[in-house]
Structure 1
Amino acid sequence: MSESAEDGRVLVVGAGPVGLVAACELARHGVVPRVVEALAVPTVQSRAVGVQPRSQEMLATLGVLDRFLAASLPQQRIEIDQPDGDGFRRLTGMDLAHLPTRHPSILDLPQTATEALLGDRAAELGVTVERGVTLTDLRQDADGVEVVLRSDQGEERTRVDWVFGADGGHSTVRGLVGSALQGTFTGSHFAMADVVVESEYARDVTRLFASPGGLTVMMCMLGGRTRLLFQVPDPGPDAGEPTLELVQELATARMGRTVRVSDPSWLTYYSVHQAQIPQYRVGRVFLGGDAAHIHSPAAAQGMNTGLQDAANLAWKLALVRRGLASEQLLDSYHAERHPVGAAVVREATAMARSMTLTGLPAVARNTGMRIVGHSDRLAHAMARNIAQLTVAYRNSPIVRRVGHAPHGALRPGEHLDDLAELTDPAGTPVLIEELLRDRPGHLLLTRTADDDGLARLRAALGDLGTVVPVVPRAAGAAPDAVVDPTGALATRYGLGDDGLVLIRPDGYLGYVSTSSDGGELRDFLDETGLTGGTASSVVLGPETSGAR
């Protein structure tokens, strides 16, 4: 064995939620990275709160969603309100129960809990977080990256193959590769409070309040705690922390006179800009999360977008590191995620600005929101967007469809749909989400049951993942088959009588065909940089070894 996964040839800088997801997914796919974090101990500050449904789908595949459910307060609805005398006037509302996902709620929990849960999962996967270690220099060439790391033990110079910068809005990695955020830097200022709130508001509803003074957000957590965010004028560099009295004044003015706040555990001011870097990949260095995009906290998009950055990159980087893909594949990280980040920056900024309108513009805003609230279709579309269920990579260079696409069928680049009709031959329900969890890698579902055809598909896919036959009946089915008695999968994915769908490790459709032709599949894999050959000598992580 020339190398092992523990050699840390991929360096993750930053052990916040984004860096930890990247580390977990790399390890799950056979490459345990080296993770360094400048903070000597985990932060007690908790900025992000809401975990969106799309992120929950990723956490389920990671095998950690149950822990998040136990630690969080699910939010069943989103409302946008306006203060009105002693109470409030609803502008619009969105129920989450009918979202097209197995996880139709937003999970509210402190970012500190998110980091702790992901840290535990990383440790289970063999990842060690080196704390109190700061990246001070980075120089790359065609073959690798030389980095300088500083800690209490002194200075270390080492060489790695790849670097993922997940080190936040003041990213050192971003500066060292010569990149910079581009956007609006006048900034929005917020007073943030973790407090106990007494009010008539339901605690399973995330609320945004429109006010001439600025956006206000209310997110409730377990243990009676509530996160309040108030957009405020620039408090100035010497403002110190906001007082509980100021938080009460803001709550009364913007949320209604019946709201009472007490028992603060954290009060702070912070500023937010709206900006994004031009390139997510700079040679052998990648950037994600706040290191790549920053924006208003409206609709709880920031951390979730970063989590999805990490989930998108990690499986690709692991395949390249293991010799199962060419470096060409890594260009798709920027191609897929940069447009998503740009859209989030635009939409979060627009939402925050719309909350501060006055006069006729405010009247127009309120009218528009009431129209949304009275239209199930519009409200559902808005909820899907906030839940990040509309994120797709239809124009990605690494997705393709072969054959006719029936109306309503999922398109390559869209996220999988889990179907209730699927079972194993014994009649136990089968969820594609769980297949991805238990069999890290690509998942190829094919309607052919022909032994020779299956052998050709397995040869074409190689070590990239698992081939699973989908059959109409349990009688005579192979033990690893999925039974689809109604043909629901073929209809939803547009597979025809003999088609297949290749689901990527991040749950998105990579290749859809009405034919289970191993040669066409092989052509697609070759053209997108997925070689699928025998894995290199890198040791697989603790949950990725064994036969597929």
Structure 2
Amino acid sequence: MSDPSTFDTDVLIVGSGPTGATAALALATYGVRAHVISRWNWLADSPRAHITNQRTNEVFRDLGLGEEIERYASPWDVMGDTTFTTSLAGQELVRLRTWGTGDDRKGDYIKASPCGMVDIVQPLLEPILFRTATERGASFAFNTEYLRHEQDAQGVTVFLRERLTGREYTMRARYLIAADGARSVIVDELKLPVEGQMARAGTVYTIFNADLTRYSQHRPSILNWIVTPDASFGEIGMGLLRAVRPWTQWIAGWGFDINKGEPDLSEATVRQKIGVLIGDPNVEIDIVKTSIWYVNQAYATRYSEGRVFCGGDAVHRHPPSSGLGMNTCVQDAFNLAWKLAYVVKGFAGDKLLDSYSEERAPVGKQIVLRANQSRLDYAPLNACFRVPGAENPVAAGIARFRDPGPDGVAARRAVQDALDLKNTEFNAQGVEMNQRYVSDAVLADPALGPEEWARDPQLYLQATTRPGAKIPHAWLVGRDGRRVSTLDLTGRGAFTLVTGLAGQAWAEAARGLGLPYLRVVVVGTPDAQDLYCAWQKVREIEEAGALLVRPDGHVAWRHEAAVADAATARAMLTEALGAVLDRPLPSGTPQSAGLHDHPAPAGKTPAFVV
């Protein structure tokens, strides 16, 4: 490796949003120097992303932030129903149980993960990531503008400008992360291939304060869709009232026709629109900020070039429908950070870094297409509340929907199918949790054919230990008698060899390697008792088989059955780790492992072994 003194930092990160801040946090946690620059004076100043799904909460749990996130978030049950009304104060048309809170889905979500969902807006999330990252050693520079970069065989020279003084200077880093958003300068510089369309539709968002408790507390909902004959609301065809701080701060949203230029954002027009959505002229409204944003449908097919890695909105640009944006940003950073850490520390070869783009680019494409499809999927629902050709199609549609005659019966029957379709946006646990990585950092099991899906893979999680999938959650019981998830026994910066009491050869082999980044979990020992037999049900291998789980929780390799002895196990494990890490394992006297055999308590800062 190069002399560290020749580098100002190991990884320089452009952008302090969810991608950049999570990358800095994870790298600092793993003992890697990370420096973040942002051209802005502080962090997010508007409540953009907010839905935080189970997989992202698992990432935060792994990084020791579970309790901190919960402290500032709106809880899962508050996310509750999504309503469709003529106005917030007016008559409801239908409701949909969303985000896994419904009676028919809650069990799926509880079974899938030790983490539920929460709602935390960016102005609350980003300071948590920032503070924790700096506490663990990352550095940040605000009011600092990225100018350009130059790569060479050893590192990256980044040219920067202090916006307050105009001073220009350079920093030298081993690697550069571009987390500079949907208008990414660095993605353009690298000429990464980007497919799709930018700015295909437009939306107005207005943040406002108003006490709407009387209309929301009895039916808690983060999202309220307004079907009203009094206004036109663009592509989706409905207006939106989104709770930012239940139930006193809100976002009002509505679409506009981009072919007619930017919409009227005068205070009088904005107040009129908000009044239509609320439906109560006596509510006092304090407008905080009004802005417009454009609906993008674009994704990069490759995320890196040399020593520069791009993530977050820079490489997947899409509307907030389905609540996938911030979640995918965080998960990009989590996937990349451990790989950079292993290469910087000499545990892995450079080829490991190629797997970042191989694994995350397909996910980015998937969520861009899904988010845009979710907008289009409002069409069948709108059709239930519209009568084409009528003088006021929406007013006529609402009247028909309430009519006791045959037309009303047909409309009410159709709305059930339309709501079922919207489950692919609002109860899409499979979209959020079914990622299957295919790369050189995953060793496919040659005995396995293509995966067969028992249920709709968009709606339902299919837990599996197939290489490339995330290790399933199962409750075990620790030495102290408390429940502990399989997710808590793995991850935290290390590879984990998971086997059972009958797999002592695997455990002996793994411990004998003495690697500082490999821990051993033997299910059935006092620290990991399968008292519920929950692990037996989901492990898909024999008790004497073995799983090799990566630091990000994804299965890198598995062997389904017992081996003859520890020597055989060691040879197989050495080969697998060497292939995944692109580096032959060291021979000779084993290193001091420095392993941590006990999981961190849920939400607490864990001990990391990298």
TM-score (norm 2): 0.76
2:27 & 2:6 partners in 1: Cα distance? 10
Contact 1:448 1:498 in 2 (8 A): yes
Structure 1 range deviating more: 126-135 or 518-527:
518-527
1:442 & 1:109 partners in 2: Cα distance? 30
Q: Which position in structure 1 is the counterpart of 2:565?
A: none
Aligned to 1:299, the other structure's residue is in SS state helix
1:442 & 1:259 partners in 2: Cα distance? 59
Contact 1:93 1:373 in 2 (8 A): no
- The alpha-carbon deviation at position 273 of structure 1 amounts to 1.8
- The alpha-carbon deviation at position 402 of structure 1 amounts to 4.6
RMSD of aligned C-alpha atoms?
A: 3.6
User: Does 1:232 find its partner at 2:232?
Assistant: no
- The alpha-carbon deviation at position 120 of structure 1 amounts to 0.8
2:505 & 2:347 partners in 1: Cα distance? 24
Q: Which position in structure 2 is the counterpart of 1:167?
A: 180
- Please give the residue correspondences for 1:323-472 in structure 2 after superposition, counting only pairs within 5 Å: 323-355=346-378, 359=383, 370-371=416-417, 383-385=426-428, 388-400=431-443, 402=445, 409-420=464-475, 422-436=476-490, 439-448=492-501, 453-460=506-513, 462-471=515-524
Q: Which position in structure 2 is the counterpart of 1:192?
A: 205
Q: Which position in structure 1 is the counterpart of 2:86?
A: 83
Residues 361 and 498 (structure 1 numbering): CA distance in 2 closer, same or farther, change over 3 Å? Answer: farther
- The alpha-carbon deviation at position 397 of structure 1 amounts to 3.9
Contact 2:523 2:529 in 1 (8 A): yes
1:493 & 1:261 partners in 2: Cα distance? 56
Structure 1 range deviating more: 318-327 or 89-98:
89-98
The residue type paired with residue 103 of structure 1 is C
Aligned to 2:477, the other structure's residue is in SS state coil
1:288 & 1:368 partners in 2: Cα distance? 40
- The alpha-carbon deviation at position 424 of structure 1 amounts to 2.0
Contact 1:289 1:305 in 2 (8 A): yes
2:7 & 2:282 partners in 1: Cα distance? 53
Contact 2:499 2:506 in 1 (8 A): no
Structure with the higher fraction of residues in strand conformation? 1
- Please give the residue correspondences for 1:253-292 in structure 2 after superposition, counting only pairs within 5 Å: 253=276, 260=283, 262-292=285-315
Q: Which position in structure 2 is the counterpart of 1:539?
A: none
1:55 & 1:503 partners in 2: Cα distance? 18
Pairing partner for 2:223 from 199, 207, 225? 207
Contact 1:495 1:513 in 2 (8 A): yes
Q: Which position in structure 2 is the counterpart of 1:520?
A: 572
Residues 341 and 64 (structure 1 numbering): CA distance in 2 closer, same or farther, change over 3 Å? Answer: same
Contact 2:69 2:125 in 1 (8 A): yes
TM-score (norm 1): 0.84
Q: Which position in structure 2 is the counterpart of 1:477?
A: none
2:262 & 2:500 partners in 1: Cα distance? 66
- Please give the residue correspondences for 1:470-481 in structure 2 after superposition, counting only pairs within 5 Å: 470-471=523-524, 474=526, 481=527
Please tell me whether Structure 1 or Structure 2 has the larger radius of gyration of its CA atoms: 2
- The alpha-carbon deviation at position 261 of structure 1 amounts to 6.3
Q: Which position in structure 2 is the counterpart of 1:319?
A: 342
Aligned to 1:430, the other structure's residue is in SS state strand
Pairing partner for 2:113 from 78, 98, 101? 101
- The alpha-carbon deviation at position 315 of structure 1 amounts to 0.8
Q: Which position in structure 1 is the counterpart of 2:459?
A: none
2:261 & 2:289 partners in 1: Cα distance? 19
User: Which deviations, in whole Å up to 9, do the C-alpha atoms of 1:183-239 show, x marking residues without a partner?
Assistant: 123432222122225252346323252756233443324362223332233497776
Aligned to 1:200, the other structure's residue is in SS state helix
2:130 & 2:469 partners in 1: Cα distance? 29
- In the alignment, structure 1 segments of 5+ residues that lack a partner are 475-480, 537-542
User: Which deviations, in whole Å up to 9, do the C-alpha atoms of 1:132-155 show, x marking residues without a partner?
Assistant: 222211122333222211113622
- The alpha-carbon deviation at position 254 of structure 1 amounts to 5.3
- The alpha-carbon deviation at position 86 of structure 1 amounts to 3.0
Q: Which has the higher contact order (CA 8 A, sep 6+)?
A: 1
The residue type paired with residue 580 of structure 2 is T
Q: Which position in structure 1 is the counterpart of 2:534?
A: 488
1:68 & 1:169 partners in 2: Cα distance? 25
Aligned to 1:338, the other structure's residue is in SS state helix
Contact 2:200 2:295 in 1 (8 A): yes
1:486 & 1:386 partners in 2: Cα distance? 24
Aligned to 1:463, the other structure's residue is in SS state coil
- Please give the residue correspondences for 1:6-85 in structure 2 after superposition, counting only pairs within 5 Å: 7-76=8-77, 77-79=80-82, 81=84, 83=86
- The alpha-carbon deviation at position 319 of structure 1 amounts to 0.9
- The alpha-carbon deviation at position 123 of structure 1 amounts to 1.1
Contact 1:411 1:493 in 2 (8 A): no
Residues 544 and 186 (structure 1 numbering): CA distance in 2 closer, same or farther, change over 3 Å? Answer: closer
Structure 1 range deviating more: 74-83 or 127-136:
74-83
Pairing partner for 2:547 from 494, 498, 501? 501
1:365 & 1:185 partners in 2: Cα distance? 35
2:150 & 2:5 partners in 1: Cα distance? 24
